[in-house]
Amino acid sequence: MILRSLVDYYERCQELPREGWIRRGIDYELVLSTQGDCVGINALGDSRKGKIVPAERLVTAIGKQALKHTNSGKDANLLWDNAGFVLGIGNKGQNKLASFIKTLQDWLGAIDDSGVQAIHRFCLQLQKDAALANRLIERFGYRADFEKRDPVLTFRLQGDIESVHERPMVRRAYAEVFAEMQGGGARGNCLITGAVSVPISLTETVIKGVWDKPGAIPLKNIVSFNERAFESYGKTKRQGENAPVSRAAAFAYTTALNHLLRQDSPQRMQVGDASTVFWADKQDPIEESFGVIFGDDPDESTRAVQALLQAVHSGKWGQSDEHLRFYVLGLAPNAARISVRFFHCVTLRELGQRIAQHFEDLALVRGPHDAQYPSLFRLLTAVALQNKADNIPPNLGGAIVDAIFSGPNVPYPALWLNAAITRCRAEQNVTYLRTAAIKACLNRQIRFRQSKEKEFLPMLDPDNQNIAYRLGRLFAVLEKIQEEASPELNATIRDRYYGAASSTPVAVFTTLLRLKNAHLKKLAAGRVVWFERLLGEVLGPVSDFPKHLPLPDQGRFALGYYHQRQDLFTRKAKDTPDTNEGENV
């Protein structure tokens, strides 16, 4: 299902390279005369945010080396490659250059094209004079860059507009040789397309872009047989024959997946170590807004989410078909291959409803600087140690995304609730993002268990009778009394007692209620009456303080505390009398 859907996506995307070609970033273009002399080196990259980004070009792909070389130095690409293979510099430079020349001769040695011949003459000059490459780099002023990295190079004949590999004669000759090459090898029935007796791909093109940390781009496979334990009986060391996939289908799904996983793709989202991609049966505007909805730009995200919610509530999807099927695939790197974390196939209506439910579960009364629709990245860092992305619990991001697209009654991972509560206790700080995560997790648990418990509202719920929720409200009221009685204090009861109050209430609240009496004596009569009335309302259902609160109840405590604090700060003046209103209360 996954690979078949990717093949369908490849077939409908006309901008993706056809079989035998791949889109790669090219750093430099060597300009050659017909005699094979290098007359110029042109930098093709663009500067973005202080970093040089290579120019995307369609280039020949004759094997896995188009994305990843082995250490042999004998797997050169055709008409392009890194400086080690093209110029013969660096480790195993001469062996790599010899491999580049041999590849050129094997594939295009029979054609009479001035561009191919110029490249061949240029490489022969490099073989005879090993210092020529360094002189050229020095002459055109790129020594510093070539010393820092191994840039990717291609060729252009002087006077031409296109690169040598784009010349019509070269393209035709390459297509003929490539088709001939595809004719041999093992044949079988393709498990993806159902095609009978077709050439089988023995090895899969590597997938680039599934990473667990920014900047780390491992190159791995989805389908591979690199150990005897993974091979079928009688098919030892026969690799792809263990799960036969035609070469055409293997090229299609790997090309499509690499396209979706590119770093600037609007159809890709990185949450923790889970790389999530998104596509549809046919082109649709929603595809382009997927990454924005869950992205970290508050303005763009808000607009995209509001548009989606409006479509969900009104049933009007604009240019989109509400029955169009969308695919959500979550991938993560593993030791030897890529692991599939989750895969969902849903209609646009189902997709919109599930995303809308996610943000409804998170909805919470907030301050003026809090995001209305918090991004997954912010939600994850809020529950991580020191709020650092490196400390996000493993697998958590992927598990949350999986729960979002699984349906409104599927609970969020328990780890998310545990992490949010733990950070609240460790830092004595119940923040908006942590409380939103706690509320979402608790409401999902209530729906999943079909409990009679009432779901938590975005704002204070005076009718909620849950003891843990009431104790959280009580703690917030006691803290507010202390703050008004001693405004000069730098720390409140939250800094000293929050952890104990939320886990072992009986050990703390008797002391806090006794201290409260001393604080009330410092307040005006009107405020005292008002606080006493509020305390009575909060403590109404509480007959005794529990000895211990389990983790979910600690979450209810945090939610009650946050709700009550927000309510105390947002009450209107008429509801919170000042020092001169004591007689009218």
DSSP string, 341-374: EEEEEEEHHHHHHHHHHHHHHH-----TTS-SS-
- For 88, 126, 137, 411, 476, the CA distances from 130, given in Å and listed in that order, are 8, 6, 13, 64, 77
Structural tokens at position 253: 């799904």
Chain position carrying tokens 């690799």: 239
Extract the tokens encoding 571.
């009450």
Query: Cα–Cα distance between 374 and 377 in angstroms, integer?
Result: 8
- Residue 139 has a pLDDT of 93
The Cα–Cα gap between 326 and 390 comes to 31
Residue with tokens 């418990």: 453
d(CA 239, CA 256): 22
Distance set, CA 32 to CA 158, 167, 179 (Å): 6, 14, 29
How far are the Cα atoms of 113, 169, 170, 554 from residue 108, in angstroms, in the given order?
9, 10, 8, 71
- Per-residue pLDDT, 580: 44
Closest CA to 342 of 276, 255, 261, 408: 276
The rounded average pLDDT for each run of 10 residues, N- to C-terminus, in the chain (585 residues) is 92 87 92 95 84 89 88 93 94 94 94 94 94 94 91 94 94 89 78 87 82 66 75 69 85 91 86 86 83 79 83 79 89 84 91 92 91 90 90 89 92 96 94 96 94 92 94 95 90 92 93 92 92 93 91 96 92 49 38
Model pLDDT, residue 240: 66
Residue 317 confidence (pLDDT)? 75
Q: Distance between CA atoms of 175 and 178, rounded to whole angstroms?
A: 5
Q: Rounded to whole angstroms, how far apart are CA atoms 533 and 376?
A: 40
Antiparallel, parallel or unpaired: β 274-280 and 268-271: antiparallel
Calpha distance 479→531 (Å, rounded): 11
If you compute the radius of gyration of the chain from its CA atoms, what whole number of angstroms results?
32
How far is 550 from 467, CA to CA, in rounded Å? Answer: 12
Q: Is the pTM of this model over 0.95?
A: no
